[in-house]
Amino acid sequence: MLNRPAITARAKAQHQTLAPAPWAVALGTLALAFGATLALAQDDVIVSHGYSNFGELKYGPDLPHLDYVNPDAPKGGEISQWASGAFDSFNRYSRKGVSAALTELMHERLMVSTADDAYGTYCYICTTIEYPQSRDWVIFNLREDVTFWDGTAMTAEDIKFTHELFMEQGLAEYVNVVKGFVSEVEVLGPHKVKFTFTDDAPRRETIPFAGSSIVFSKAWFEETGARIDESTLEPFMGTGPYLIEDFDVGRRIVYGRNENFWAADHPFNVGQNNFDRIRVEYFADSSAAFEAFKAGEYTFRNENSSKDWATGYDFPGIRDGYVRREELPDGTIGSAQSWIFNLDRPEWQDERVREAVRLMFNFEWSNTSLFFGLYERVNSFWENSDLEATGTPSDAELALLQPLVDEGLLDASILTDEVVMAPANEAAENLPDRRTRRNALRLMTEAGYTVNDQGILARDGEPLDLVILSFSPAFDRIINPYVENLKSLGIDAKLERVDVSQYIRRREDGDFDMTTHTFSMGFEPGFGLRQWYGSETADNSSRNLMRLRNPAIDRLITHVTEAETLEDLTTATHALDRALRTLGFWVPQWYKNVHTVAYYDMYRYPDPLPPYALGNLSFWWYDAEAGQRLIDAGAL
């Protein structure tokens, strides 16, 4: 997303660490159940190389490589990118310290998904899975050749240990979710581990949930005494394709290829993990980072400024042909970037006040004057996908919404009205049009606010102030016009920009009125929705930052998690999206359905790219001859 103020250079949809399914395992007669490709079915126990709730898996057990990679991609070279702020820890599982970017390169999970199969998940550290029709449990038959960086073998004991470690020391919001899913993890043998699920765990998600388990070395943790709830600059022992080669605290990290990577030659990794090194350079702000890119201090940039994208790419590297600038397709769900209210603060609990604040953001002017017309408005939490609610509710949606209306949990208008859309303005200038301003002032008056002697809206003698918390200087030009609009209404608004560490801490502590948040939804929404929107996570969540507590939303989330067919899932998600949009806890911003990237012309990628990943850190590769030409020309 352009102008998306990333806290760190997170590699969303960029790197995939994939390993093989059990390609050498002889499979018997194939059948289908729950969308998985079956090898055996005895006593209702299914054995498979992967799992899907909806339809057949895209890949069978005998593929030579993923369809979207270049199997002949050379290995070598370095790719580098930037991150904002600084870091002081390699532990991404604790709120203590600021975690370094891309630490996920070092660790792997039992099962993985691919960039061209929205619903499938495949054995990676396992060879096969076994599970009953009820999905009350799953057994992972583990590969026997998986090793940690130090060459020690990974076993079922490591998986059980990692689970127990997170249950003892993990973040409360994660632990609470796991407790709702997993009742027991048992070691059945050196390479056999069983997850048993709770009675209440949504059966559609049990197997993918267990398959997402990460694996740490039990022996290493016991030897070092390391804890996952502490900040640390000693990375946890992993099995991944990269490990930390070098770092300068707060300034630079270099991930180097794990020369002993256990899965380097397996089919799921053919054409992937192509770079010898992945480097991250840290900068205090985006302006400094952009200047560094122009100077060749790093080599790949996923542009997050519409202004720079439209006006900044006229520098010698571009003119001389050293740097390429491209818009590449992005088939993922549009991230619902927005400002959110802190609903724990009394002044933002009045929906009329929230709606007045929403009305004062003039997206149309911002898009024309600030974003050079590059954006579309966010309206949905599942923007640009089939899961986005549209128009009036279908009969199937009404069946879910009517009981909530009958119980007084939702307003009856949701049954007949068009789905809520973001406010639109017709003003040619930043200040919204008169009709919009009148509506905003009317809402404030209805909420009991009047203008005091200082020209500020006040209720019961208390003036209404609003502080927008931010960390990125690049966002000032967007927030400040919004602040001026709010002030024109009589709200004492201001921008407060802090450093990254304060920004993260204050968001998590609920120390803000309004801040930027990005809701990143998936094609198969499920239990994770409770972390985003569930009442049970409102007190302590890195996702439910708005502190949303709403019983209707909780009920609709249950409908989503319990959906067994794609049709039911789509209907339930439409109803949830529709209800969320009526609550007005956000001021929707913008999205773009392409990746806007610039890079020094020594990287190549498969054509076409897969729909669900850019993959620049994984299935792109280094062209050594082109790289040498850039060096000879003095571009690098």
Q: How far is CA 489 from CA 356, 449, 451, 454, in A?
A: 9, 11, 9, 13
- pLDDT computed for residue 240 by the predictor: 97
- pTM to 2 decimal places: 0.83
CA dist 628 and 630 (Å) reads: 5
CA dist 177 and 200 (Å) reads: 11
Q: Which helix (H) or strand (E) holds 531?
A: helix 528-533
Give the SS3 label for residue 339.
strand
- Cross-strand bridge partners of residue 466: 493
| Token representation of residue 350 | 């009045």
Q: What is the 3-state secondary structure (H, E, C) of 170-224?
A: CCHHHHHHHHHHEEEEEEEECCEEEEEECCCCCCCCHHHHHHCCECCCHHHHHHH
Quick: pLDDT tens for 56-74.
999 998 889 999 999 999 9
CATH 3.10.105.10 residue window(s) in the chain: 336-591
Q: Can you list the pairs that 633-636 forms with residues at least 24 positions away whose Cβ atoms lie under 8 Å? A: 633/320, 633/322, 635/296, 635/317, 635/320, 635/322, 635/600, 636/296, 636/299, 636/600
CA dist 472 and 4 (Å) reads: 10
CA dist 417 and 422 (Å) reads: 14
- State the number of CA atoms in the 13 A half-sphere of 145 facing the CB: 13
- pLDDT computed for residue 304 by the predictor: 86
The residue ranges of the chain whose pLDDT is under 50 are 1-42
CA dist 597 and 324 (Å) reads: 8
CA dist 111 and 446 (Å) reads: 54
- pLDDT computed for residue 173 by the predictor: 77
CATH 3.40.190.10 residue window(s) in the chain: 34-67+108-224
Fold of 336-591: Dipeptide-binding Protein; domain 3 (3.10.105)
Quick: pLDDT tens for 420-446.
999 998 878 899 999 999 999 999 999
Do 467 and 513 meet the contact criterion of CB atoms below 8 Å apart? Answer: yes
- pLDDT computed for residue 23 by the predictor: 25
Sort strands 465-470 and 514-519 into parallel, antiparallel or unpaired.
parallel
- pLDDT computed for residue 206 by the predictor: 94
Helix orientation angle between 476-489 and 434-446, rounded to the nearest 10 degrees: 60
The residue assigned the tokens 């009953």 is: 132
Residues 6+ apart with CB under 8 A from 178: 163, 166, 167, 170
CATH of 34-67+108-224, one of 3.40.50.1950, 3.40.190.10, 3.40.630.10, 3.90.79.10: 3.40.190.10
Q: Which helix (H) or strand (E) holds 282?
A: strand 277-283
- pLDDT computed for residue 39 by the predictor: 41
